[in-house]
Amino acid sequence: MESPGHTGGQSKLQPGSPADPTAFGKYLLLGMIARGGMAEVYRAKTRSASGILAADRLLAIKCMRPQLAKEARFVEMFIREGKLAVLLDNDSIVRTYEIGRIEGRYFIAMEYIGGKDLTQILRRCQESNQRIPVPHACYIAAKMSEGLHYAHTRADAEGRPLNIVNRDVSPSNVRISYEGDVKLLDFGIAQAMLKFTSEIGVLKGKFSYMSPEQIRGMPVDARTDVFSTGIILHEMLTTEKLFRGDTEFALMEKVRKADVPPPSKFNRRVPDALDKIVAKALARDLPDRYQSAKELSDDLHAFVTQYRYKPEEMTEFMRNLFRVDYQKEADEIASCQAATLDNEPEMSIESSLVVAEPTPPVGTMNPPPRDADKRTTGPREAIGRMPADDTSPTSVPPGDTGPASTPGPGSGDGFFSRLRKKFTK
């Protein structure tokens, strides 16, 4: 992801700003957070209170590049995975409100998480010669694992496991808010994104956080996310990248071998017991690894008790690490909340709601309604209609379950196999 100032790549959307918001269907865009090869992320809010969304609630809208909408397979996967993402209701996972299409752009509307992602946090630590304190690092990894375990074990209304696997647990997908919340991003869309990310440059960043079996293109399960969490924990403890390579091939080889030095080698504050936890999360062979994310979070929580750690300390840590940005963000959020369109016209909403959040109010653990999968418009918000000439997202078979039943990157279309062949030629 590049910084918002970057102007390469064509996008027809005006990013907007709090002083000059851009209307996007029923939303207002209030500025770009980041732009990458596949998507752009904007700050946003709804134009008026709708459903569970209060009018001043800040959202993040991730808009897929328009060319992706032309890929029927992408659209199908995006919707299938998005349907799963809206089912996830856990403290450690960003809340997804809806998946839809506006002006031909597929988008995901989520809660906005202030603060920074772990890439930014690690970079700041490196630049300022600081470390994330050991208990903070363990707490972050424990919270991530809790969120992952929740998703891994999420079942449908009939109690059938949905077999959700994140597959893209990487530092840019973990945000820590200035309130100390730890939130996993991009749940559900990883598979579609990975599969359709043809630019090696974009994928390269992802190899460093994949498990050996994922790099090999083998089927993956919850334990792949455990491995990726182990990499992130290692990096938080050492402030160094764990897997690096001059070429993609060299990098992939390193991940395949999973030769992992103990973090204590780089950070003398890491005790032996923690080295052992990290080693078990990063075991190359599946039987040696933690078998569930819960096992990992249990061990981390137990380990951390000796520090008498209080989660509130994370708030202080974040605000100290990003003193200036914290203040700036507080001001920006206030102006975003106050933003309105001049001459708000009679709302003409041209969006197709594909999936809406099934469980109001936010924070409840009600199971989704039985027919949640079949719904193509939200419970309270039948907004707009599908243009007749459109590839209707509603044509996705409702019973088509999701990531578990779809081949992982490399296993189905041979993408990773092709990639490996390319490098081994």
Ligand X SMILES: Nc1ncnc2c1ncn2[C@@H]1O[C@H](COP(=O)(O)OP(=O)(O)O)[C@@H](O)[C@H]1O
Catalytic residues: 168
Would you give the distance in Å from CA 296 to the centre of its chain? 20
Quick check: 16 and 31 in contact, CB under 8 A? Answer: yes
Give, for 45, the enclosing helix (H) or strand (E): strand 39-46
Give the residue, chosen from 15, 16, 36, 147, that forms a contact with ligand X under the rule CB under 6 A: 36
Question: Which bin fits 104, alpha (ψ -120 to 50), beta or left (φ > 0)?
Answer: left
Q: Closest distance between Mg ion and the C-beta of residue 186, in Å?
A: 4
| Chosen residue from 94, 109, 293, 339 binding ligand X by CB under 6 A | 94
Q: Which of Mg ion, ligand X, none has residue 122 at its interface (CB below 5 to 8 Å by kind)?
A: none
- Shorter beta-carbon distance to ligand X: residue 244 or 385: 244
Residue 105 binds ligand X (CB under 6 A): no
Please identify, using beta-carbon distances, which residue of 187 and 227 lies nearer to ligand X: 187
Site string for ligand X, 41-70 (x = CB under 6 A): x------------------x-x--------
In the complex, least distance from residue 41 CB atom to ligand X, rounded to whole angstroms: 4
User: Of the ranges 105-113, 291-299, 373-381, 411-419, which one interacts with ligand X (CB under 6 A)?
Assistant: 105-113
CA torsion 60→51→375→358, rounded to 10°? 70
Starting at the earlier edge strand, list the strands of the sheet with 116-117. Answer: 116-117, 174-176, 182-184
Tokens representing 307? Answer: 């520090």
**Segment interacting with ligand X, rule: CB under 6 A, options 29-37, 239-247, 355-363, 395-403:** 29-37
Say whether residue 192 binds ligand X (CB under 6 A): no
The contact mask relative to ligand X for 112-131 (x = CB under 6 A, - = no) is xx---x--------------
Nearest distance from residue 158's CB to Mg ion, in Å? 31
* One residue of 13, 23, 29, 39 binding ligand X per CB under 6 A: 39
Give the dihedral sign, CA 312/318/324/325. Answer: negative
Does residue 1 bind ligand X (CB under 6 A)?
yes
Total residues binding ligand X (CB under 6 A): 18
**397 vs 401: CA distance, rounded Å:** 9
Q: Tokens at residue 191, please?
A: 């598979």
Per CB under 6 A, the list member of 173, 228, 292, 297 interacting with ligand X is: 173
What SS3 string covers 262-309? CHHHCCCCCCHHHHHHHHHHCCCCHHHCCCCHHHHHHHHHHHHHHHCC
β partners of residue 45: 28
Phi and psi at 155, nearest 5°, equal: -115, 165
Interface residues with ligand X (CB under 6 A)? 1, 33-34, 36, 39, 41, 60, 62, 94, 110, 112-113, 117, 172-173, 175, 185-186
